Amino acid sequence: MSDQPIVFDEWQTASGDRIGVARLNTPRNLNSLSMEMIRQLGPKLTEWADEPSIRAVWLEAEGEKAFCAGGDIVSLYRAMTEPGKVAEGVEFFNLEYQLDYQIHSYPKPVICWGNGIVMGGGIGLMVGASHRVVTEHSKLAMPEVSIGLYPDIGAGWFLNRMPQRTGLFLGLTGARMNGADALFVNMADRFITQELKAQVVAGLTAADWQAADAHALVSSVLRQYEQQSQAALPASPIRQFFDDIQQATDGDSLPQVVAQLAELGGRDDWLGKSVKGLGSASPTSLALMWQHYHRSRLHSLQQVLDNELVMSHNALKKGEFAEGIRALLIDKDMQPRWRYASLSELEPEWVNSFFSQAPAH
């Protein structure tokens, strides 16, 4: 076992080509995305893109529990609370969003094996891959509103590309998705059981990469094992409750939609459990999510990431994000003291200030 936070390998194929392998390697903290991982992965992807014998990239994680549970927010907390360290948080977001865009626009197939927990920054790595695989153990979510942030890593772009208003629902509630949900909302492309992973790898390395389009070859191999996995595919609650979600998110203002969602909290089903987090979410974060989602409707991915960079830089300095992490992971009292206790108390100037670029000095 390597003690490196990310491990690189290359698999030889039958045709003499290679597949680049990047493995997140901090299973004890659920492979949380650290600055060191980002600093190493970006240049390695560039190197592989320029190397003709590398035909595809395989992105996975060590351990069975998680692909990546999100960004390393404990380090971000230190950047926000220790004197003179905020620049480290700024650099983290700068490099993270560059990496996310690099994956989205990568010229070769990127196969992401999204087994276990995939949240926040982990979704940022996975969602841009050309071939996104989920398993029976996949648990996906974007719960940023519960820690004083907002769904970032391009979420303003991809949440708007989900069926109807499911993206709005997922961003406001932080609801947990299974593999079938991820397929339904276009966060994944294939469902393959975890036990078939070794056979998928064997199929890719045994293939003749010289004789086929690389993307088509990957799809062909994955399709074969997806067909073998159909019996294990769970039901999709988002598909099951789609009409209820549409009805609850049909409103002209954030308070109206949040109230309609909260009414579902009395139900003893997946939908009822999914809206429970609204009560403890940061009102500021809910407002940021709402505004960013609607502003981003017609924006390109690059525009969205540029806007999120401004928002995240502001979040590092305004206290709400730090307070959310304190309550969850530092003091663990689960009692965040949000700047505004309710949506009705929010001041528009406060929310709008997150979208404003600080003047250069």
Expressed in percent and rounded to 5, the helix, strand and coil fractions of the chain are: 55, 10, 35
Given a contact cutoff of 8 angstroms between Cβ atoms, the answer to whether 188 and 114 are in contact is: yes
Residue 341 dihedral angles phi and psi, to the nearest 5°: -80, -20
Beta pairing class for 110-114 and 131-134: parallel
DSSP state of 358: P
Rounded to whole angstroms, the Cα distance separating 100 from 66 reads 19
Q: Write the burial class of residue 335 (CB in 10 Å: 0-12 exposed, 13-18 middle, 19+ buried).
A: exposed
CA dist list (Å): 322 to 84, 88, 123, 147, 172: 15, 14, 21, 8, 19
Given a contact cutoff of 8 angstroms between Cβ atoms, the answer to whether 271 and 132 are in contact is: no
Distance of CA 294 to the CA centre of its chain: 19
Rounded to whole angstroms, the Cα distance separating 45 from 62 reads 19
Distance of CA 354 to the CA centre of its chain: 21
DSSP state of 185: T
Tokens of 180: 């079938």
Distance of CA 69 to the CA centre of its chain: 9
Residue 192 dihedral angles phi and psi, to the nearest 5°: -135, 135
Question: Mind telling me the catalytic residues?
Answer: 71, 121, 144, 152
Q: Write the burial class of residue 16 (CB in 10 Å: 0-12 exposed, 13-18 middle, 19+ buried).
A: exposed
Closest residue by Cα to residue 5 from 68, 47, 51, 54: 68
